[in-house]
Amino acid sequence: MLKYISKRVFYAFVMLFVLSMVVYLIFGLVPIDPAKLSCGTHCNPVVVEANRHRLGLDIPLWHQWWNFIMGLFQGRTYGEGAAMIHCPAPAFGYSFPNNACVTEVMAGAFPFTFTLAVGAFILWMTIGISFGILAARKKGTYIDRLSTAFVLIGSSLPIFILGLLIYITAFLLHLIDPITQGTWVSPLSDPIGFFRNFIFAWITLALAYAAIYTRLTRSNVIETSTEDYIRTARAKGVAERDVLYRHNLRTALAPLITNAGLDFGGLLGGAIITERVFQLPGLGYMSIKAVLRDYDLPLIMGTTLLAAAFFIFFNLIVDIAYAYLDPRVRLN
């Protein structure tokens, strides 16, 4: 098992290294000059050239990428003298529209996205797996038909439509205050305000994803229940509850780990639509703002790399968890 984990960790670091190179190359070839974007209203060739030197853009692209990689570990300094700006590690660059290091800007948005992702993940896994198991055990009954309707509605209804319906309903019932919605509230000092700020966004994402996990859980439990070892366990007189939880679910839920890890990693990369509907200034909302309004290339590149890193990290977690549940994976 240790050898398997070590190999996966090594592959993950190689993937991150190659990914950083590809992403930096793509943004380096974009026909937009960050030096011009950061020179303000009094822009002239002298100021542009000074900004290009300050940002380290007057050197070959491969050298810029290497400085970027070193900045992730050592921090980075931009400019000289009184105009010098230092960004501590991990340094993703400097955002002139926000007058702050990219890491600081992302750190301010990350709590919103992280809270949104964790809350929605817990809800959709609880609802989806519970409803899927119940539908499989009550196959052919009204509960099974109800789960089918839930899957059809949840899978076909776009998230932004579902989010708007929930937001409007909560607003009409005076459960959401548009003025305070989207401001960070500590769960320790004001737990009620904290949950009011996120609960409807959690429900929006949870309903959309829970429909998918209900279908997957139901089909996997039904398929696994026909296996020989399940029939053998029943023939030996093992209680039905033990057959379900100790034998059936361990195999049936293993494929869901892959989906759950990647979906959670995707949400941490930024649930753009939900954050926009519920006015949550998370990573997704911040990325859209950087693209459409600020043209903030360092911030766009930083969020892109961060989102990709989340995918790779949770894919690593998925591989390890899958190997734990199914020893055949380690052998192969």
Q: Do the domain assignments include residue 219?
A: yes
| pLDDT for the residue numbered 296 | 80
Q: Do the domain assignments include residue 162?
A: yes
Angle among Cα 293, 295, 298 to the nearest 5 degrees reads 135
Q: Do the domain assignments include residue 183?
A: yes
Q: Do the domain assignments include residue 263?
A: yes
> Mean pLDDT, to the nearest integer, of 201-208?
89
| pLDDT for the residue numbered 202 | 92
**Counts for the chain of helices (H) and strands (E), in that order:** 16, 4
Distance CA 260, CA 253 (A): 10
**Mapping DSSP to helix (H, G, I), strand (E, B) and coil, where does residue 173 land?**
coil
| pLDDT for the residue numbered 40 | 62
Q: Please check the confidence at residue 83 and state whether its pLDDT lies above 70.
A: no
Which band of pLDDT confidence, cut at 50, 70 and 90, is reported for residue 122? very high
- The answer to whether 295 and 275 are in contact (CB under 8 A) is no
Share of the chain above pLDDT 90, in %: 8
Q: Do the domain assignments include residue 173?
A: yes
| pLDDT for the residue numbered 119 | 92
Distance CA 74, CA 155 (A): 45
Q: Please check the confidence at residue 107 and state whether its pLDDT lies above 60.
A: yes
Q: Do the domain assignments include residue 79?
A: no
Share of the chain above pLDDT 70, in %: 93
> Mean pLDDT, to the nearest integer, of 290-304?
81
The number of folded domains in the chain is 1
Q: Please check the confidence at residue 332 and state whether its pLDDT lies above 60.
A: no
The residue segments making up the domain with residue 210 are 110-289
Q: Please check the confidence at residue 137 and state whether its pLDDT lies above 80.
A: yes
| pLDDT for the residue numbered 94 | 84
Q: What is the CATH number of the domain that holds 281?
A: 1.10.3720.10
pLDDT, averaged across the chain: 82
> Hey, what are 330's tokens?
């380690």
Distance CA 226, CA 14 (A): 41
Distance CA 257, CA 319 (A): 9
Q: Please check the confidence at residue 330 and state whether its pLDDT lies above 60.
A: no
Q: Do the domain assignments include residue 92?
A: no
Q: Please check the confidence at residue 15 and state whether its pLDDT lies above 70.
A: yes
> Mean pLDDT, to the nearest integer, of 156-171?
88
pTM as predicted: 0.82
Q: Is the dihedral of CA 125, 128, 132, 138 positive or negative?
A: positive
Q: Do the domain assignments include residue 31?
A: no
